[in-house]
Amino acid sequence: MNKDLRKAIIAGNWKMNKTRPEAKELLEAIKPLVANAQGKVEVVACVPFTNLETAVNTTAGSNIKIGAENVHFEKSGAFTGEISADMLTEIGVTYVVIGHSERRQYFGETDETVNKRTKAALAAGLIPIVCVGELLNEREAGITSEIVGKQVKLDLAGLTADEAKKTVIAYEPVWAIGTGKTATADQAEEVCAFIRATIASLYDQAVADAVTIQYGGSMNAKNCAELLAKPNVDGGLIGGASLKADDFNVIVQAAVNG
């Protein structure tokens, strides 16, 4: 496996945190810290809808890209409370998180809706970060591969090879998100490698080699270097640690040096 074939991406997922002034303050703090990552590691902040315009304006001219945390699959219409892909691109958003376990758990997200959102995002020119991962009882039952393989197949169903190459997969074991329990680097590598093999079986090795696969789940300043050093871990989707500029920067620097 050759990591040079794909882009390393460190993306913060702010979840439902930060008002607009707080968002501006955090991004102003992160900007100079991560400037050296330009051309080496893609740095992304995925922020609440209300912060998107502030975030795009604050990071203009810097190497930080902005992402949303969800997107609706229809182009427009009677979908009260929803946001379309075109609305995001018009603001200047580049990435969008799709199928985060919190959306699957609390908001009825399914692999079918993840697939529809992924297609809508790609059609609008957004880069989807598609989240997959097993529950604790699924890992304990020894069916992690079965669960994650099924998610990858259903979530990417119908994507062309070019679309698949543009799609980022975030492997996020649900038991590790926001719990302080991190998958070991070997566990993360094992599943990320399995995801790459699944993509190779769906498309071919060239597509699989091009897809960025992140690990997410309590990644922090202490454990990031070991996780990011693994050959199939191409970056991270970071929740809690992305809300502190210094911690987020340590993770970005680990990816730059990794």
Q: Report, as residue numbers or ranges, the catalytic residues.
A: 100, 172
Smaller CB distance to ligand PEP: residue 111 or 172? 172
Phi, psi angles (nearest 5°) of residue 201: -75, -30
Smaller CB distance to ligand PEP: residue 121 or 224? 224
CB under 6 A: which stretch of 37-45, 47-55, 82-90, 213-221 binds ligand PEP?
Answer: 213-221
Q: How many Å from the N-terminal Cα to the C-terminal Cα in the chain?
A: 15
Q: Is 240 in the site for ligand PEP (CB under 6 A)?
A: yes
CB under 6 A: which stretch of 108-116, 119-127, 154-162, 216-224 binds ligand PEP?
Answer: 216-224
Using N-to-C axis directions, what is the helix angle for 20-34 and 245-257, rounded to 10°?
A: 30
Residues 6+ apart with CB under 8 A from 199: 152, 156, 164, 169, 207, 208, 211
C-beta pairs of 200-203 under 8 Å, 24+ apart in sequence = 202/152, 202/153, 202/156, 202/164, 203/161, 203/164
Residue of 9, 71, 83, 177 that binds ligand PEP (CB under 6 A): 177
Residue of 42, 109, 134, 172 that binds ligand PEP (CB under 6 A): 172
Q: Is 67 in the site for ligand PEP (CB under 6 A)?
A: no
The residues that touch ligand PEP, with contacts defined as CB under 6 A, are: 13, 15, 100, 172, 177-178, 216-219, 237-241
